[in-house]
Structure formats: structure tokens, C-alpha cells
Amino acid sequence: MEEVVIDAKDMHYKELNEKIHEVLRKNPDVKKIILKNVLGQRFIGTGLQKKDLTIEIYGIPGGDLGMFMNGPTIIVHGNAEFAPGNTMDDGTIVIYGSSGDVTAHSMRGGKVFVRGDVGYRSGIHMKAYKDKIPVLVIGGRAKDFLGEYMAGGIIIVLNIDEKGNDLGKVKGRMIGTGIHGGAIYIRGDVDRDQLGVAADIKEFTKEDLEKIKPYIEEFCKWFNLSEDVKNRLLNSKWTKIAPISKRPFGKLYTPDLM
């Protein structure tokens, strides 16, 4: 049995998550778990380690979806609550709707694709180490404080609506406050006064485009976007936001031995 369906109707989150563990324990070969009638159950996929596992969720999962997750793919046919991908290690989260605040919080690896919008403080404190480079791709827009204290990884904001049309200039404020690693790519123009302290607008180069291209292509594939839309996204004007320095607050404190 490679596919298992769990009806989550009226289930407490502990019960649901225990069910998932039980399925995996009893049947290590299972490749897909389908969760029906999910309504706010938290911590789905938290700490799961299995690389070849896909969890499909119908409904709205609760907070901390896929927290500390290492490997699986989670597909949400609906919106997600706050902090999907919190401190995630590896794997993929695909959200067909929008997601709440602190999406991809402290993410350390893997990818999160959100078709709609994300809430406040998304991508906050994402970090990278060696080949672990977390990626957050947002189809619509982000609320304020996107990429705050970002320490590594890539955030991409596509700025399109459900049909793939332009949403106009992004509105978020305090983008990249305290950023000291990684980069935020926003399609379209961003004013300097939308940036937070320690963030800077850097030249968007060919290398940057090469870097983000595979993730945009993957986004289009997940959400079935046409070649036209994809090409338009790739050929748009992009703004790159990156740290002024790796040590934004280095000068704030007393130097060693004055």
C-alpha cells in the first residue's frame, strides 16, 4: 500500500499526527498520505524525516506546518496558518492558497512555494550553511518585515494574482530589517524607504537571474502556470535586496580593549 488516506474530521492534532506516525511505522514503504478534512490541526509533518514521502492536505492546516521537517513534500490544497516551514531542514512545502505570519521562519533548507500571499515577518531569520540554502517563493505579496534578520537563503516575490496578472508595485515596509546574509528578489520596483535598517538595493545581475530561474520554473510547474507567464516573470524588472554587510551591528558595541 503506497497511498494512505486519513480523514481528519474532528480529530485533535495530537491524534492526527500520531496517526501519521503510525502509518509510517506500520508501512515504511508508504509514498503518499492524503489528509482529508483538515481543519486547523497543528504541527502536521513536524520533525518528519522521510525523503520520498508526500503528504497532500485538503483543507486548512494549523500553525507550524512541517516544522523541523527533513525531507518530505507537503502539498496544501487550501490556505495555511502561521509559520509553515518553521525551522525546516529540508523538503518542500507547496501551498495553493495563502499562508499566515512568519512563513518560513528560521528555515534552514528546503523550499516553500506559496501561490497566494504571505503574512507579516515571513522569511524571518532564514539562514544558510554550505549546500543548505532555503528558498521561499511567494506568488502574490508579503506583508511588512519580509526577510527580517535574514541570515541566508533566497526569498522571491513574484507579485502576480491568481490569473498571473501583475499586482502593481509591492507595498511592504521594513523589508530586510537587520538582514546579514542571503538575498530577497522582488519583481518590480521597490523604493529605498521600504527597506529596513541594514538592507540595501543591489544591482540585479545575470547571475542573479540564473540563481532564481530554477525556482521560478519550479513554481510555475507546481501551480500550472503557462509558458507565457513564466517568460514574463523571467523577463521582468527585478529588484535585489541584500545586506549592507555581514556584520550589520558590528559598530554598535565597544571594540575589544578600548
The residues binding another protein (CB under 8 A) are 14, 17, 21, 42-43, 46-47, 49, 63-64, 67-70, 82-83, 86-87, 89, 102, 105-106, 108, 121, 124-125, 127-129, 132, 148-149, 151-152, 178, 180-181, 246-258
Instruction: Report which of 69, 63, 111, 113 is spatially closest to residue 83, judged by C-alpha positions.
Output: 63
Which residues make beta-bridge pairs with 36? 7
Cα gap 37→231, rounded to integer Å: 36
Based on CB atoms, which residue is closest to another protein, 86 or 159? Answer: 86
Tell me how far, at minimum, the Cβ of 29 lies from another protein, in Å.
21
Per DSSP, which regions of 14-69 are E strands? 32-39, 54-60
Cβ nearer to another protein, comparing 163 with 251: 251
- In the bound complex, what is the minimum distance in angstroms from residue 98's beta carbon to another protein? 18
Choice between 140 and 178, CB closer to another protein: 178
Cell numbers for 44: 502536521
Output the smallest distance, CB 147 to another protein, in A. Answer: 12
Min dist. Cβ of residue 249 to another protein (A): 7
Nearer to another protein, 142 or 225 (CB): 142
Give the up-direction half-sphere exposure of residue 109: CA atoms within 13 A in the CB hemisphere: 13
C-beta separation of 138 from 166 below 8 A: no
Give yes or no for a contact between 103 and 83, defined as CB atoms under 8 angstroms apart. yes
Which residue, chain included where needed, has cell 541584500? 242
Residue 116: helix, strand or coil by DSSP? coil
- For another protein, the closer CB: 115 or 127: 127
Closest approach of another protein to the CB of residue 229, in Å: 32
